[in-house]
Amino acid sequence: MAISRRGSGPEPALRALLSQVHPVFMLPPLAASLFGGVLASGVAPVVAGLHVVAVFSAVYTAHVKDGYVDFHVRGEDDDHPLTERGCKAALAGVCVLFAVCLAGLWALVGVGAALVTLPTWLIGYHHAPQLDMNPVTATTGYPLGIAFAIVGGHYVQAGTVGATALAFGVVFLVLLSGVKVIDDAQDYEYDRSIRKRTVAVLLGKERARTVAFLLMATALLAVVAFSAAELFPPSSVLAVLAFGAVALVARRADPELATMLLVRGSYVFLAVLVAAVWFEPFA
């Protein structure tokens, strides 16, 4: 069975499979899982590892399924490294891996750990062709996965859904939804030509940009409010300042540059929040 469209044998197959590992999009969910664990009082390494691998499997599933649908089903993409059978084989393998992780979490923590982790895979598997055709679910799919990674990472360590973890999940859902609206605007002309209903296509580029920055501003204000309510550490406001500075620069940039800045700004945002929770410098 041919895996790669660019040659036969183990090496081309491995390259094709690894091509679906996109670090820019994969690292934040993995970091979110670990961040959720940091919010708990203690971290069990085996449990944390199982949850991280489960989240990785869910995101890998999303990438393979998205490529399969866009190239082999819809014919929207010009090229794809995996054959149709290769896509199905990769999906089968990674779904088995996710199931093994889910079973491990169930055995070590309980059924709640499995239930709070399962949505990450459901979102990834159904991103295409179901969720990506609706402007709301196309925008919130990836951010919602991040939110579940945070909440799930916390649950598998603490055995409960903590208010702080839930609040962080909501903040990232809103913030990254704004970033996703900007990201989708890069493909405005193409999405419009194939009648793909992103927020930019639905509202127009200018109004979509306004909505995007309102979402990000709402998330930043929520961090300040949660800090004032002592749900977040006081030093969390430093993350607001860091991301806010990036957002001000991105506000005048074109969608491609704005997306690049905001994605990297979200990395800084998460890093500062991790430091705030871990060290509590203003405590």
pLDDT in tens, 8-41: 889 999 999 999 999 988 999 999 999 999 999 7
For residue range 141-172, list pLDDT tens digits in order: 999 999 999 999 999 999 999 999 999 999 99
Please give the average per-residue pLDDT across 112-131, as a whole number.
Answer: 95
CATH architecture of 23-160: Orthogonal Bundle (1.10)
Q: At what angle do helices 163-185 and 23-38 cross, to 10 degrees?
A: 170
Residues of the chain with CATH 1.10.357: 23-160
User: Which residue intervals of the chain bear CATH 1.20.120?
Assistant: 162-283
The pLDDT tens digits of the residues spanning 38-75 come to 999 788 999 999 999 999 999 999 999 999 998 998 88
- CATH class of the structural domain 162-283: mainly alpha
Q: Say if residue 197's pLDDT is above 70.
A: yes
pLDDT of residue 137 exceeding 70, the answer is yes
**At residue 283, does pLDDT exceed 60?**
no
Question: pLDDT-derived band of residue 281, with 50, 70 and 90 as boundaries?
Answer: low
Residue predicted with more confidence, 195 or 151: 151
- Which has more pLDDT, 282 or 35? 35
Q: What confidence tier does 1 reach under pLDDT thresholds 50, 70, 90? A: low
Q: What is the mean pLDDT of the chain?
A: 94
